[in-house]
């Protein structure tokens, strides 16, 4: 089975303990989680070099994520222009709740019944990509 790279906009450098950022293009960091056979095999923190830009940060982030060969983005909100750019780069997206820890979003997406639609959306993307 191939590896799957998931990018999550985050607020700091705390890896799986970090909080999902409410913003995409201006997120301070991106936590990149690599999964293989349903297990996390690598976690990387990438500083968002476009976070301080007044405008145009979203397209730059998409270019960075495409360069990292990301397959899936889990984010609170993504605008229509960036959504199209993600699609153009074959990067799928799933919307998640704000203020949650990365590990909780990943964990609950597969186990918690209260997040049924989110879990289904992520599982659907994972199965399609793998």
Over residues 10-62, the pLDDT tens digits come to 999 999 999 999 999 999 999 999 988 778 899 999 999 999 999 999 999 99
Instruction: Let me know: does 21 contact 103? Beta carbons within 8 Å.
Output: no
pLDDT at site 39: 80
**Among the four given CATH numbers 3.30.420.130, 3.10.20.340, 3.30.365.10, 3.20.20.210, the one describing domain 4-129:** 3.30.420.130
8 A C-beta contact, residue 69 and residue 91:
no
The domains of the chain are located at: 4-129
pLDDT digits (tens, 9 = 90+) for 28-37: 999 999 988 7
Question: Which has more confidence, 107 or 118?
Answer: 107
Name the pTM for this structure.
0.83
Instruction: Tell whether the model's pLDDT for residue 111 goes beyond 60.
Output: no
No. of H helices and E strands in the chain?
4, 5
Q: CB within 8 A of 32, min separation 6: which ones?
A: 5, 6, 7, 8, 42, 43, 44, 45, 46, 68, 70
The conformation of residue 21, written as its DSSP 8-state character, comes to P
């Amino acid at each position: 089975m191939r590896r799957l790279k998931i990018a999550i906009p985050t607020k700091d450098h705390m890896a799986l303990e970090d909080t999902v950022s409410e913003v995409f293009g201006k997120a301070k960091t991106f936590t990149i989680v690599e999964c293989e056979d349903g297990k996390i095999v690598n976690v990387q923190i990438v500083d968002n070099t476009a976070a301080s830009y007044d405008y145009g940060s979203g397209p730059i982030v998409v270019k960075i994520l495409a360069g990292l060969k990301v397959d899936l983005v889990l984010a609170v909100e993504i605008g229509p222009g960036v959504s199209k750019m993600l699609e153009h780069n074959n990067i799928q997206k799933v919307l998640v709740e704000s203020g949650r820890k990365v590990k909780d979003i990943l964990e609950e997406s597969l186990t918690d019944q209260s997040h049924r639609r989110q879990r289904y959306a992520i599982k659907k993307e994972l199965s399609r990509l793998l």
